[in-house]
């Protein structure tokens, strides 16, 4: 991993593993989960790169609702916890 890149992983309820990598103004979310519509991941990752971990779960839930995103295998709280770990 490059300098300044931070990584976190978390087992979410049900035993699924989700990882987040952040660095260079970008966030990448990977693991055992699904988003519907399937092409919504890049937009979510860009949104995550633009927010701070303060009350991130609410912001992520609102973003998902505004954009009609259904999360399967993880929730806004899981993503927020990972975001808090990778943000400086």
Domain residue ranges of the chain, discontinuous segments joined by +: 6-86
**CATH superfamily for domain 6-86:** CO dehydrogenase flavoprotein, C-terminal domain (3.30.390.50)
Q: What is the pLDDT of residues 29-84, one digit of tens each?
A: 999 999 999 999 999 999 999 998 788 999 999 999 999 999 999 999 999 999 99
Rounded CA-CA distance 20/45 in Å is 10
Which has the closest alpha carbon to 23: 33, 8, 38, 42? 8
The pTM assigned to this predicted structure is 0.91
């Amino acid at each position: 991993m490059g300098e300044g890149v931070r990584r976190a992983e978390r087992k979410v309820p049900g035993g699924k593993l989700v990882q987040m990598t952040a660095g260079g103004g970008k966030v990448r979310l990977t693991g055992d989960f699904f988003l519907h519509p399937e092409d919504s991941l890049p937009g979510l990752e860009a949104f995550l790169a633009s927010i701070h971990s303060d009350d991130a779960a609410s912001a992520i839930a609102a973003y998902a609702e505004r954009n009609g995103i259904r999360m399967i295998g993880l929730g806004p709280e899981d993503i927020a916890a990972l975001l808090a770990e990778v943000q400086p």
